Each structure stands twice: as structure tokens, then as C-alpha cells.
Amino acid sequence: MSATETAPPGLRTRGLAVAYDDVAALDGVDLDVAAGSVVSVLGPSGSGKSTLLRVVAGLEPSAAGTVFWADEDLTRVPPHRRRFGLMFQDHALFPHRNVGDNVGFGLRMQWLPRAEVERRAGAALARVGLAGFDHRRVHELSGGEQQRVALARAIAPEPRLLMLDEPLGSLDRELRDRLMVELRTLFVELGLSALFVTHDHDEAFAVADRVLIMRNGRVEQDGRPEVVWQRPATELTARFLGFVNTVTLGDRRLLTRPDGIRVDPTGAIAGTVVTRTFRRDHFLLAVEALDGSRYEVAATGTQIPSCGDHVGLTVDQSAAVEFPPS
């Protein structure tokens, strides 16, 4: 980039690399988060996604690569001067401070007047639905409340980039679904730039404008959620995203999700139902085909086969992705 050109606001990393004991945790990661957009990073445990957050936050030095915000080189800038927010896994609330002091912490670090700190901390708490919680002790809160306090603490100083490390990881499903919506609303309302790390698909795809898939310290795929969801770029990504069935049609190899295969008496694949599991809005069937291969099938409707039933299966090719034969 030439010196005269002005980069658009947003986070930009190039070639980030980190290794622990010769094992690469990050291996040449390029990441862009445009101002006002929400990016989630999705990957299995150990894929390097948390390390990526820590490097962007400045908590972890990188062996190589750069971190920029617009034109500002942050690579060697310590965390407290990056004006990024980070919401930790398990929240990392200060146990020795009450809720209000936790939320006001970042504002105090800016040496704001006390009244201002209290006002803005109160506002941040109200924003996450905890108005009036200022004087509560941290260890008296429920898991969901702690999560909201952590969020309020992270947004109170109005960081230019908010990072969230598995923010909903420890919460129960119902709460998580609700908070996911709230998060998305909050991001939009505040026009926040956010970088969101998770291993949970629903979270990643529900909240983000863009999704990155990481594996072994590398970015495997980077795109809009619906594109990544429907067209994983590699077989490993596809498997990770739930394309569990491999169907071989002639010399074509198709990968599909359970809902990409229908129970169809006329289907080309014949097999026997081995297990049947109720999944709220559908049944998940495991079907063993005559050639010994197994398929996971989402069955809806009123006529759900039982265990031991002989069934036929049809592959919905529009919902499948094709990879070269292995």
C-alpha cells in the first residue's frame, strides 16, 4: 500500500504467525473486519481461533505478521492502547469489584470523571438489561447475568473493535438463543465492529456478516454466512459444518447434511434404519445401506420409519457439495 492512499477504517491482519513449542498456533492468518461489520471465526478446539483474538488484542506477541487498524500499525502497540474490547470466555469478571465497578473499569482507565463513569456504566448495564445492578457482587450473579455484565464491561468504553471469545459457551441452549439475538441487535444498533470466536455453528452464522473457518492455524474459508454454510470450500470444512454423509454417484462424490437426504420409497439407495432419535422438529435416522455405508437422515412429516424398517433414500443434489473422488 502506498503512503498516500488511505485505508478504509477496520481491522486488517496480514501473515500472523504464532508457534508454541514448534507447533503452529497461527500460520499466516489474513483477516479483515470492516468498520461496522461483524465477523465470526469458527473452528474446532485447537484451531487457533482464540490465539488469533489474543494476538489482535495485543495480549500475545506474534512471531510474524502485522495488525493494522486503518493506517495505524498496531503490531507493537500494547493492549491498553489499542482501544479494542475483549469479552473473555467465562467472562473474567473482577471478583474483588462489584458490578458497577467492573463495568466502569475501562472508563476509569481513561481517567473520566467519576460521575461520567457511573453514568456511562449505568447506561451500559441498562443496554444489556441489567439496569440497577451496579452494587451487586459479581459472585452473586447467575451465569447469564455474568455474561451480560462482561458484555456491558466490554462495550462501556466504546471500543472501535469488540472481540468476543466463546461468549455464550457456558450458557444453556435457551438462554444462548435469546442472547444471540440480543447480541446481533446490539451490534447493529451500536454499529459495532465485532470479531466473534466460537465453535458453535448456530452462534457463528446467526450473528455474523461474514464467517471465517479456521483449522490448524490457517483460514480455510472466508465468506458471507449463507455462502460458507451452503458451499464449504474444502471437504474438511464441509465435514465440520455438518456435511456428514458421503454419497457416491458414479464417479461423483457428494457430501450432504442430514436434511440433504430424504426418505423416499422410490429412492436409489436402499437400507435399514438402525437408530431413530427425536430432534424437536424432526427425527434423525441412522440408515445402514446394503453396501455397508451409513447415512444420517433428517426425517419430517407424519410417517417416520421405525428401527429395523427397510427404507429408500434420495439425495437432494442442490443441497449437496461435490468434491473430487478421494
Partner 1 sequence: MSRARLLLLALVPLAFLGIFFLYPVGTILGRGLWSHGGPNFGAIGDVVGDAGLRRVAWFTVWQAAASTTLTLAIGLPGACLFARYDFPGRPLLHAAIIVPFVLPTVVVGSAFLALLGPGGPLAFLGIDGTVFAILLAHVFFNYAVVVRTVGGLWSHLDPRREEAARMLGASRTRVFLHVTLPALRPAIAAAAAIVFLFTFTSFGVILVLGGPRFATLETEIYRQTALLLDLRVAAALSIIQLAAVVVLLGIGSLARGRHAVTLGLRPAATTGRRPHGVGPTAFVAGNLAVMAVLLALPIAVLVERSFATPGGPSLGFYRALGDVGTGSTFLVAPAEAIRNSLSYAIVATAIALVIGGIAAVVIVSRERHGGRFALGLDGLLALPLGVSAVTVGFGFLIALDAPPLDLRTSWWLVPIAHALVATPFVIRTMTPVLRSIDPRLRDAAAVLGATPSRVWREVDLRIGARAVGVAAGFAFAISLGEFGATAFIARPDRPTLPVVIYRLLGRPGTTTFGAAMAAGVILMVLTATAVLFIERFHAPGTGEG
Binding residues vs partner 1 (CB under 8 A)? 54, 57-59, 78-86, 88, 90, 92, 94-98, 105-106, 109-110, 137, 139, 153-154, 157
Least gap, CB of 283 to partner 1 (angstroms): 35
Locate the DSSP E strands across the chain. Answer: 10-20, 23-34, 38-42, 64-69, 72-73, 84-87, 161-165, 194-198, 210-215, 218-223, 245-249, 252-256, 261-263, 269-279, 282-289, 294-299, 310-315, 321-323
- Residue closer to partner 1, measured from CB, 80 or 178: 80
Q: Residue 105 or 323: which CB sits closer to partner 1? A: 105
Q: Which is nearer to partner 1, 33 or 269 (CB)?
A: 33
Residue 298 contacts residue 282 (beta carbons within 8 Å): yes
Taking the complex as a whole, the smallest distance from the CB of residue 219 to partner 1 amounts, in Å, to 23
Q: How far is the CB of 74 from partner 1 (least distance, A)?
A: 13
Residue closer to partner 1, measured from CB, 84 or 187: 84
- Three-state DSSP class for residue 244: coil
CA atoms of 122 and 193, how far apart (whole Å): 22
Q: How far is the CB of 195 from partner 1 (least distance, A)?
A: 13
Nearer Cβ to partner 1 (110/277)? 110
**Local structure of residue 293 (DSSP, 8 states):** -
Cα angle 170, 174, 180; round to 5: 75
User: What is the nearest approach in angstroms of partner 1 to the Cβ of residue 95?
Assistant: 6
Helices (H), the chain: 49-57, 99-109, 114-127, 143-155, 173-190, 201-207, 225-230, 235-240
